[in-house]
């Protein structure tokens, strides 16, 4: 225990009562949970990555509650980001797994579960994550304050506290959202220019390059920075400039499984879909398992420490004041009973008592691991994919051993993986939220109720988003590659019926091991190998814009942080804006505009295109807008300088 724990004073003292769990915060939180949950679902299905919604949700809340409603309550703003960020974490867990059932149905293997079935599975995972995390709050948030930094939670608290002093951060988020939404609608709605540029090299057969010139990719690239994006892009370069030309050079008239046409007849996309995708899947799976193995000592240590803390917890001083009160244990037990009853007895959820027992064991273990690991390495480095792969491998092997095979067994395995993936993601996100609350002086049990509300709202909306996107474009294709879900699908199929091109998978596995031997981070390189280079090149360009700010000389570090944070906030708005319009366009694709005015405009504009050069020009202007709202925004300096006076 840190000796400074008893000295810590939150921003809002424990004896001060302020508006917190209000109708405004609940409604606004639910809206943002749906918005950021849907946007992150679209982003994750397209790129295989999701981003934290806590800070953009907090600044939007401040903009609405403080600027528009003329109220000042940091605790209301914190409640909004608590509920809103639940949507992002639940979306991450869901899109990493559930699209597999839609892809199986398309292949004639089983049927797509109903909307209610998917919603209940998502909500169950979210509520289990909340239940498992609540008893750990005292151990990892309170007793380890000053030891576990929880970077995202601490950063969000700083944003909330800064917001009490004024600033224009909310306007920056809305600017990014609006500009990206307009850009996305012009590109993919009106089709004034293509959202993807693509070139193949005639004299270097099999090689190709391209870029998806979309706001979310530039925004994500800026947020994750040049180091990670360069690793991802390097994986794409290896795939599209080394592996694919080699396959084309040596393939000739050979027809090699899983392709059904001669290699010499395949274009770049044919080579990627037939071979590189499987090599990349082997690399990503291996990188996930390796990351899990590397963190195994930490996992075992954190699990043991959490269990020890729970045993030693007497709660003597934890319920004496507002900031130390958790949700009553009877409500936790009631939620657990209800969730397990739904998973076991709901007729369309293929989870029996044995599978439910696996969920409890894996869920509690990975929740305790996530809660402490994100405090050390941050949510973005939490090996959720590795946890999910390990769960799927173990579960699928058991199901096959007991004779639960075929489409029914595969569906059961993916449902187990879905719940566990959501539990791990929710536990990590909730830990960051509770850390934010601890710093600003929130009431824990109210935050925990907010997480429950956010989980239910996000679960209901994510199920609808998955159905909508599948109806519009389907999963596993060029529009929505669903990389993580495709990987989980391959893992289950590989165990159940061994119909994978194992030579390609093992080639990818050993490629990932070589990257690890070189002491480079295997996961981003493997993801870059797995994804089309069109995605990683756009991420790389966003990373280069961030590099420009990182390398620029400022008067002091404080100015540097303010400029970069403005860019991150603007980029978060860009991601949300594209995600929302992407979902809107999916709705228009499913329900055609027909003879409406909008339909006529889209039909006419679709016949006018600025071409690939025009697309690159518009993307360059979009990236310059990040600099406009960060480096070139003198108001950022002015606002902060006024605060400092």
- Give which of 41, 88, 94 is closest to 419, Cα–Cα: 94
Query: Are residues 522 and 286 in contact, defined by beta-carbon separation less than 8 angstroms?
Result: yes
Residue 374's CB is within 10 A of a number of other CB atoms, namely 29
Burial class (CB in 10 A: 0-12, 13-18, 19+), 326: buried
Query: Are residues 43 and 35 in contact, defined by beta-carbon separation less than 8 angstroms?
Result: no
Burial class (CB in 10 A: 0-12, 13-18, 19+), 316: exposed
DSSP secondary structure, 67-103, as one string: IIS----HHHHHHHHHHHHHHHHHHHHHHTTTHHHHH
Highest mean pLDDT among 106-110, 139-143, 626-630: 626-630
- Give which of 301, 20, 9, 311 is closest to 138, Cα–Cα: 311
- Give which of 62, 19, 25, 53 is closest to 167, Cα–Cα: 62
* Tens of pLDDT, residues 84-98: 988 888 988 899 899
* Tens of pLDDT, residues 267-300: 998 998 889 988 988 888 888 788 778 767 766 7
Q: In the predicted model, what is the mean pLDDT of residues 128-147? A: 85
Query: Are residues 3 and 145 in contact, defined by beta-carbon separation less than 8 angstroms?
Result: no
Distance of CA 177 to the CA centre of its chain: 18
Query: Are residues 628 and 172 in contact, defined by beta-carbon separation less than 8 angstroms?
Result: no
Confidence of residue 643 (pLDDT cuts 50, 70, 90): very low
- Give which of 146, 117, 193, 152 is closest to 414, Cα–Cα: 117
**Is residue 258 reached through a cis peptide bond, with omega within 30 degrees of 0 on the bond before it?**
yes
- Give which of 420, 367, 369, 365 is closest to 391, Cα–Cα: 420
Residue 419's CB is within 10 A of a number of other CB atoms, namely 31
Q: In the predicted model, is pLDDT for residue 61 greater than 80?
A: yes
Pick 644 or 604 by higher pLDDT: 604
Going 490 to 495 to 496 to 497, the CA torsion angle's sign is: positive
Q: What is the pLDDT of residue 607?
A: 63
Q: In the predicted model, what is the mean pLDDT of residues 140-155? A: 80
Q: In the predicted model, what is the mean pLDDT of residues 231-252? A: 93
The single residue listed with the structure tokens 């037990």 is 333
pLDDT, the chain, mean: 84
Q: Residues 530-546, buried b or exposed e (16+ Cβ, 10 A)?
A: bbbbbbbbbbbbbbebb
Q: In the predicted model, is pLDDT for residue 599 greater than 50?
A: yes
Confidence of residue 579 (pLDDT cuts 50, 70, 90): confident
Query: Are residues 462 and 123 in contact, defined by beta-carbon separation less than 8 angstroms?
Result: no
Pick 622 or 476 by higher pLDDT: 622
Q: In the predicted model, is pLDDT for residue 69 greater than 80?
A: no
Q: In the predicted model, what is the mean pLDDT of residues 374-397? A: 75
Burial class (CB in 10 A: 0-12, 13-18, 19+), 283: buried
* Tens of pLDDT, residues 19-37: 999 999 999 999 999 988 8
Reported as half-sphere exposure (CB side, CA atoms, 13 A), residue 478 has a value of 12
The single residue listed with the structure tokens 């719940």 is 419
Helix (H, G, I), strand (E, B) or coil at 11: coil
Determine phi and psi for 553, rounding to 5 degrees: -85, 130
- Give CA–CA dist 444/150, Å, rounded: 16
* Tens of pLDDT, residues 175-218: 888 999 999 999 888 888 888 899 989 889 999 999 999 898 89
- Give CA–CA dist 603/39, Å, rounded: 26
């Amino acid at each position: 225990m840190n000796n400074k724990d008893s000295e810590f004073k939150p921003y809002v003292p424990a004896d001060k009562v302020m508006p917190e769990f209000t109708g405004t915060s609940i409604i606004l939180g639910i809206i943002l949970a749906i918005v950021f949950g849907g946007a992150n679902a679209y982003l994750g299905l397209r790129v295989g990555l999701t981003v934290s919604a806590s800070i953009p949700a907090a600044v939007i809340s401040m903009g609405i509650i403080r600027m528009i409603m003329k109220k000042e309550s940091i605790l209301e703003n914190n409640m909004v980001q608590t509920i809103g960020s639940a949507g992002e974490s639940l979306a991450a867990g869901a899109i990493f797994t559930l699209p597999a059932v839609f892809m199986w149905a398309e292949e004639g293997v089983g049927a797509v579960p109903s909307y209610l079935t998917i919603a209940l599975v998502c909500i169950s995972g979210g509520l289990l994550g909340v239940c498992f995390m609540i008893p750990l709050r005292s151990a990892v948030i309170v007793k380890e304050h000053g030891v576990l930094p929880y970077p995202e939670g601490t950063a969000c608290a700083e944003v909330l506290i800064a917001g009490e002093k004024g600033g224009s951060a909310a306007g920056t988020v809305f600017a990014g959202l609006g500009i990206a939404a307009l850009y996305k609608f012009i590109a993919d709605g009106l089709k004034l220019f293509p959202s993807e540029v693509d070139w193949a090299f005639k004299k270097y057969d099999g090689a190709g390059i391209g870029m998806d010139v979309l706001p979310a990719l530039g925004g994500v690239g800026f947020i994750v920075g040049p180091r990670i994006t360069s690793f991802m892009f390097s994986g794409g370069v290896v795939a599209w400039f080394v592996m694919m030309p080699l396959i084309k050079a040596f393939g000739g008239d050979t027809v090699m499984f899983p392709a059904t046409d001669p290699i010499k007849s395949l274009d770049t996309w044919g080579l990627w879909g037939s071979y590189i995708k499987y090599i990349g899947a082997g690399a990503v799976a291996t990188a996930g398992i390796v990351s899990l193995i590397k963190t195994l000592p930490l996992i075992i240590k954190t699990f043991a420490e959490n269990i020890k803390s729970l045993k030693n917890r007497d709660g003597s001083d934890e319920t004496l004041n507002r900031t130390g009160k958790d949700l009553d244990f009877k409500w936790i037990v009631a939620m657990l009973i209800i969730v397990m009853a739904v998973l076991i007895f709901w007729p369309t959820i293929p989870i029996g008592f044995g599978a439910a027992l696996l969920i409890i064991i894996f869920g509690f273990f990975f929740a305790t691991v996530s809660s402490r690991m994100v405090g050390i390495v941050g949510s973005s480095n939490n090996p959720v994919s590795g946890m999910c792969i390990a769960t799927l491998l173990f579960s699928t092997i058991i199901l096959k051993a007991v004779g639960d095979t075929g489409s029914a067994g595969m569906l059961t395995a993916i449902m187990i993986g879905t719940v566990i993936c959501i539990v791990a993601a929710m536990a990590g996100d909730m830990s960051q939220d509770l850390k934010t609350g601890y710093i600003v002086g929130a009431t824990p049990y109210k935050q925990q109720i907010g997480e429950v509300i956010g989980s239910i709202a996000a679960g209901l909306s994510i199920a609808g988003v998955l159905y909508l996107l599948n109806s519009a474009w389907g999963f596993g294709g060029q529009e929505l590659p669903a990389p993580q879900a495709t990987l989980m699908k391959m893992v289950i199929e590989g165990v159940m019926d061994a119909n994978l091109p194992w030579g390609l998978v093992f080639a990818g596995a050993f490629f990932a091991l070589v990257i690890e031997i070189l002491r480079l981070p295997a996961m981003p390189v493997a993801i870059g190998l797995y994804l089309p280079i069109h995605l990683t090149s756009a991420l790389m360009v966003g990373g280069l814009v961030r590099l420009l700010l990182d390398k620029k000389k400022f008067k002091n570090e404080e100015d540097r942080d303010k400029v970069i944070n403005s860019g991150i906030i603007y980029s978060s708005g860009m991601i949300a804006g594209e995600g929302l319009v992407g979902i809107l366009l999916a709705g228009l694709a499913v329900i055609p505009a027909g003879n409406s005015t909008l339909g006529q405009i889209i039909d006419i504009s679709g016949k006018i295109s600025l071409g690939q050069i025009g697309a690159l020009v518009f993307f360059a202007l979009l990236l310059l807008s990040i600099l406009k709202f960060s480096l070139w925004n003198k108001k950022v300096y002015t606002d902060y300088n006024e605060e400092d006076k």
